[in-house]
């Protein structure tokens, strides 16, 4: 009796659900679906393991660094994050592609950053999914994950056990890989020496903006962004809070123009932070001579740490996902000491927790899973307002637990600007009046 009722309920749900699914199909869903011919693909790891599957996206073979992400949504945002440059991205979520890909352009005006996703195109070298959704459905979707990858020349493999790959990567760490497509898939795995290691290159230089540009020039405060491979949502988060944002190349001589700005922001970016030592040394000079607020995210946080005298190291498999818990060790603005915040992350390197911390600096956040440093800040008595966080407060995708850190940063920039105005007028008033001499 119970069984029959339960079955009826299931049937009811199915029939009730059907018209809604048909309704959606008229907009933003797969056009007429035709099965693609099967192209073989193999993912080889430098350590000797190989995984056989089916190709999708661009039919070309590539090398890269194989990493895994535990995020369950936002494959479009992750794939356009410049920090994934040079990486073969394995999604642990079994089915990827269900909601397709949106149009990635917005009308460019001074308030907008010109893209809907995190950059103009796909940044990772390849994607690895257990089960590619060939059909998609979303009101904003204009194409499938497969066709988007074809347009951007990015290959993918599906039909492989991403749990098995992830367990290998968790045990042995992020590993160099080769995705072999089509005829290449029947060739033997490459020799160990053939694997290309993207971290030997300065990837930041490949993704950073070439020429400075300004968004929202009417903003009440001027923020300079050093672009190490910035996600678009960082610029959106600053512009939406009223700031004028000038994006500069990662190695720009900020010190020569710093007086035009009310604050400095250092973005995320791909690869090994040691390639950004030049920026860290310039920033050290900034800290010595300029007391306006500075905020950095991910690579930006690592550069702040190196400028402060901390060391960056390579983690075993890094943290990539949208569910990383971090514990705040200090209070600052919207952040309260003792609280745990769930964060979005994508990094392979971290700052070393050293004891004692350099003078004028303190740990700000710590990762609840692996105790890695998740943030640093200048101490209250340092005379500076500087924060660096390893996670992404702007998320895209991921939780918005720490989004108010942008408000905190801009509030400090506005405070500093106001204080300097008062100080400047007080200085002018206090100047001796020589007119009677
Ligand atoms: N998202 C980032 O900025 C990453 C920083 C650096 N490339 C790392 O992997 O640690």
Residue 257 lies in a domain: yes
CATH code for the domain of 394: 3.40.50.880
Angle made by CA atoms 270, 276, 281, in degrees to the nearest 5:
155
Residue 14 lies in a domain: no
Mutate to test the pocket of ligand 1, among 64, 250, 299 (most ligand atoms within 8 A of CB): 299
Examine the domain organization and report whether 215 and 186 are in the same domain.
no
Examine the domain organization and report whether 376 and 277 are in the same domain.
yes
Examine the domain organization and report whether 194 and 212 are in the same domain.
no
Examine the domain organization and report whether 42 and 61 are in the same domain.
yes
The interface pTM score, or ipTM, of the predicted complex is: 0.98
Residue 430 lies in a domain: no
Q: How many domains does the chain have?
A: 2
Q: Check whether 435 has a pLDDT greater than 60.
A: no
Q: Check whether 436 has a pLDDT greater than 50.
A: no
CATH code for the domain of 93: 3.50.30.20
Q: 200, 219, 240: which is the final residue of a domain?
A: 200
Q: Name the residue with the closest Cα to ligand 1, atom 5.
A: 299
- Name residues contacting ligand 1 (CB within 6 A): 83, 268-271, 273, 298-299, 346-349
Q: From CA 135, how far away is CA 31, in angstroms rounded?
A: 8
Rounded to the nearest angstrom, the distance between the alpha carbon of 302 and the centre of ligand 1 is 8
Q: Are 341 and 325 in contact (CB under 8 A)?
A: yes
Examine the domain organization and report whether 190 and 246 are in the same domain.
no
How confident is the model at residue 21, as a pLDDT? 37
How confident is the model at residue 422, as a pLDDT? 83
Is the whole model's pTM more than 0.95, yes or no?
A: no
Examine the domain organization and report whether 184 and 320 are in the same domain.
no
Mutate to test the pocket of ligand 1, among 80, 300, 346, 372 (most ligand atoms within 8 A of CB): 346
Q: 130, 165, 200: which is the final residue of a domain?
A: 200
Q: Please state the atom number of ligand 1 nearest to the C-alpha of residue 297.
A: 3
- Domain residue limits at 187: 31-200
Burial of 305 (0-12, 13-18, 19+ CB in 10 A): buried
Rounded to the nearest angstrom, the distance between the alpha carbon of 377 and the centre of ligand 1 is 18
Rounded to the nearest angstrom, the distance between the alpha carbon of 61 and the centre of ligand 1 is 25
Examine the domain organization and report whether 159 and 223 are in the same domain.
no
Q: Please state the atom number of ligand 1 nearest to the C-alpha of residue 229.
A: 3
Examine the domain organization and report whether 240 and 154 are in the same domain.
no
Q: Which two tokens stand for residue 164?
A: 């098995």
Residue 18 lies in a domain: no
The residues carrying an active-site annotation are 298, 392, 394
Examine the domain organization and report whether 86 and 171 are in the same domain.
yes
Residue pLDDT, tens place only, 155-186: 999 999 999 999 999 999 999 999 999 999 99
Say which residue the tokens 């499938």 belong to.
144
Instruction: Give the mean pLDDT of 126-137.
Output: 97
Residue pLDDT, tens place only, 377-407: 999 999 999 999 999 999 999 999 999 999 9
Examine the domain organization and report whether 216 and 93 are in the same domain.
no
Q: From CA 279, how far away is CA 437, in angstroms rounded?
A: 50
Burial of 172 (0-12, 13-18, 19+ CB in 10 A): middle
Rounded to the nearest angstrom, the distance between the alpha carbon of 15 and the centre of ligand 1 is 47
Examine the domain organization and report whether 212 and 234 are in the same domain.
yes
Mutate to test the pocket of ligand 1, among 83, 197, 199 (most ligand atoms within 8 A of CB): 83
Q: Please state the atom number of ligand 1 nearest to the C-alpha of residue 301.
A: 3
């Amino acid at each position: 009796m119970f069984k029959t009722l339960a079955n009826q309920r299931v049937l009811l749900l199915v029939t009730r659900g059907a018209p809604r699914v048909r309704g959606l199909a008229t907009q933003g869903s797969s056009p007429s679906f035709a099965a693609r011919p099967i192209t073989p693909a193999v993912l080889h790891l430098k350590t000797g393991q190989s995984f056989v599957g089916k190709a999708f996206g661009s039919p070309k073979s590539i090398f890269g660094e194989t990493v895994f992400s535990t995020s369950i949504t936002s494959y479009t945002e992750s794939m356009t994050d410049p920090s994934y440059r040079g990486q073969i991205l394995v999604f642990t979520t079994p089915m990827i592609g269900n909601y397709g890909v949106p149009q990635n352009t917005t009308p460019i005006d001074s308030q907008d950053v010109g893209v809907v996703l995190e950059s103009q195109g796909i940044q990772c070298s390849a994607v690895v999914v257990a089960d590619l959704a060939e059909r998609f459905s979303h009101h904003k979707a204009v194409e499938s994950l497969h066709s988007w990858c074809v347009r951007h020349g990015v290959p993918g493999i599906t039909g492989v056990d991403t749990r098995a790959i992830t367990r290998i990567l968790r045990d042995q760490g992020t590993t160099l890989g080769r995705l072999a497509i089509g005829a290449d898939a029947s060739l033997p795995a490459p020799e160990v020496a053939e694997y290309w290691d993207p971290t030997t290159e300065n990837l930041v230089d490949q993704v950073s903006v070439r020429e400075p540009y300004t968004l929202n020039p009417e903003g009440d405060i001027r923020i300079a962004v050093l672009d190490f491979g910035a996600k678009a949502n960082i610029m959106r988060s600053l512009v939406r809070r009223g700031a004028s944002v000038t994006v500069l190349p990662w190695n720009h001589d900020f010190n020569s123009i710093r007086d035009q700005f009310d604050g400095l922001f250092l973005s995320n970016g791909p690869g090994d932070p040691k390639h950004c030592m030049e920026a860290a040394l310039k920033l050290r000079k900034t800290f010595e001579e300029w007391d306006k607020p500075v905020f950095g995210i991910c690579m930006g946080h690592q550069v702040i740490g190196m400028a402060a005298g901390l060391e960056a190291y390579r983690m075993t498999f890094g943290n990539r996902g949208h569910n990383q818990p971090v514990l705040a060790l200090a209070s600052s603005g919207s952040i309260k000491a003792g609280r745990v915040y769930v964060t979005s992350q994508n990094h392979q390197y971290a700052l070393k927790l050293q004891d004692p911390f350099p003078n004028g600096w303190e740990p700000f956040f710590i990762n609840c899973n692996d105790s890695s440093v998740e943030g640093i800040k200048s101490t209250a008595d340092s005379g500076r307002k500087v924060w660096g966080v390893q996670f992404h407060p702007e998320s895209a995708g991921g939780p918005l637990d720490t989004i108010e850190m942008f408000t905190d940063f801009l509030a400090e920039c506005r405070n500093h600007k106001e204080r300097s105005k008062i100080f400047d007028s007080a200085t002018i008033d206090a100047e001796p009046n020589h007119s009677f001499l």
